[in-house]
Amino acid sequence: MTHISEREYELPNAVIGDLLKTALEDKSVISLGPGEPDFDLPAPLVEYIKEIAGDVNHYSPVGGRRDLKEAIVKKLKRENKIETNPDNVIVTSGSQEALLMATACSLDVSEQVIIPNPSFLGYLPTFELFNAFPIALELKEEDNWNINPDELKKLVDRKKTKAILINTPANPTGNVLSKKLLEEIADVAIDNDLYIFSDEAYEQLTYGKKHHSIASLNGLKNHAVTFQTFSKGYAMCGFRLGYAVGPSPLIKAMEKIHVYTTVSAPTISQKLGVKALSMKKEYTTNMVKEYDRRRKFLVKGLNQLGLETINPNGAFYTFSNIKHLADDSFKFSFDMLRKAKVAVVPGREFGRYGEGYIRCSYATDYKNIEEALRRMDKFISKIQK
């Protein structure tokens, strides 16, 4: 007998996997779906792998290697204005694992966490896995996809709400929250004694708008939990290396549970992390410059196609309005994949308030974006007739 739990059956089926699988198998498809950098691993890291390959076969400490945690602390102070120490840092197999463990250690059954919607498709099932209760905070295009503090306050239940999740720069909208807005969110958390889970995976990828870490604000020592990663800024997605920094009791609880998940992040990845944090910023800066070039071209092109697209200030995504063309973003996306050979991600994949939009990634070659726009133009022209 094969038995699958009700918990698994109740999790949403992400269509992004089917889209990307088709894009990989059909070489005629141009994919604007990727959620990872299309750049190679920095050359210094490639060379360093060769140096350490014979000495990375053992487990690392559950909370992370001391030299990496110390390097992370220096980075947090230098780049994020977060004052902390190694005991408040846990190194994980990607920042998603850190969020999963933080959820397990801070939210009991039916306790509420407020999450922006639309938002990264992994948030909702993470909380549902532990029978927490996600509350959707609607983000609106007319608000430039910003969190509305007044609407946030309305969703707080003083008995049940335990955490607020924010994502800046944001997936899928590319929005970067301002310092003023972060201060208003911080006030809500402090007034109601809530955690703030701050996912900052795209912190290094911004264009003309500064990224601020909410944990750098006063009064949040016991409230803010910051999640960061090496995946986006160093093109290290396959090495699965992330970390969280937060209140000591929570970090210690996460270390305890880490023994029962992956034990530790891969040793080779942690050593690479130390090396990455010692590198000059030139690699990331050059990557951001190229993303910016693609961003400007893609946003202009999408708007010229009649797909209203707000200029994103961070990450590597656009989020375009297709409501005048279709009322089902899944059908629209699969039709375009089948007929135009262009893969995008339907907005509903990111929550019910993402319906009526599509996400395009510019983490792909400039020429691919040019050709994708040409194909999209023909597809849209046909369905408008």
Taking residues 52-78, report their average pLDDT: 97
Residues 307-330: tens digit of each pLDDT: 999 999 999 999 999 999 999 999
Task: Return the pLDDT at 83.
Answer: 97
Q: At what angle do helices 366-384 and 329-340 cross, to 10 degrees?
A: 110
| 314 HSE (CA, 13 A, CB side) | 26
Q: Which of 258, 278, 298 is the last residue before a domain boundary?
A: 278
Task: Return the pLDDT at 4.
Answer: 87
Taking residues 256-261, report their average pLDDT: 96
Mean pLDDT of the chain: 96
Residues 127 and 232 in one domain: yes
Cα(54)–Cα(50) distance, integer angstroms: 8
Task: Please report whether residue 1 resides in a domain.
Answer: no
The CATH code of the domain that includes 320 is 3.90.1150.10
Taking residues 226-231, report their average pLDDT: 98
Task: Return the pLDDT at 14.
Answer: 75
- What is the pLDDT confidence band of residue 26, given thresholds at 50, 70 and 90? confident
pLDDT at 367 over 70: yes
Residues 60 and 131 in one domain: yes
Cα(257)–Cα(275) distance, integer angstroms: 27
Task: Please report whether residue 107 resides in a domain.
Answer: yes
Q: Which of 262, 278, 294 is the last residue before a domain boundary?
A: 278
Q: DSSP character for 29?
A: P
Q: Which of 256, 278, 300 is the last residue before a domain boundary?
A: 278
The CATH code of the domain that includes 95 is 3.40.640.10
pLDDT at 379 over 80: yes
pLDDT at 385 over 70: no
Task: Please report whether residue 36 resides in a domain.
Answer: yes
Domain count, the chain: 2
- Give the rounded percent of residues in the chain with a pLDDT score beyond 90: 91
Task: Return the pLDDT at 2.
Answer: 85
Residues 258 and 372 in one domain: no
Residues 76-94: tens digit of each pLDDT: 999 999 999 999 999 999 9
- What is the pLDDT confidence band of residue 16, given thresholds at 50, 70 and 90? confident
Residue with tokens 């310092």: 179
Residues 44-53: tens digit of each pLDDT: 999 999 999 9
Task: Please report whether residue 49 resides in a domain.
Answer: no
Taking residues 256-262, report their average pLDDT: 96
Residue 286 CB coordination number (10 Å) = 12
Residues 138 and 239 in one domain: yes
Taking residues 1-11, report their average pLDDT: 82
Task: Return the pLDDT at 11.
Answer: 80
Task: Please report whether residue 291 resides in a domain.
Answer: yes
Residues 267 and 291 in one domain: no
Task: Please report whether residue 47 resides in a domain.
Answer: no
Residues 80 and 173 in one domain: yes
Task: Please report whether residue 303 resides in a domain.
Answer: yes
Residues 146 and 158 in one domain: yes
Task: Please report whether residue 48 resides in a domain.
Answer: no
* Domain residue limits at 118: 55-278
Question: What is the pairing mode between strands 242-245 and 89-92?
Answer: antiparallel
Residues 128 and 239 in one domain: yes
Residue 261 · residue 91 · CB < 8 Å: no
Residues 82 and 213 in one domain: yes
pLDDT at 23 over 80: no
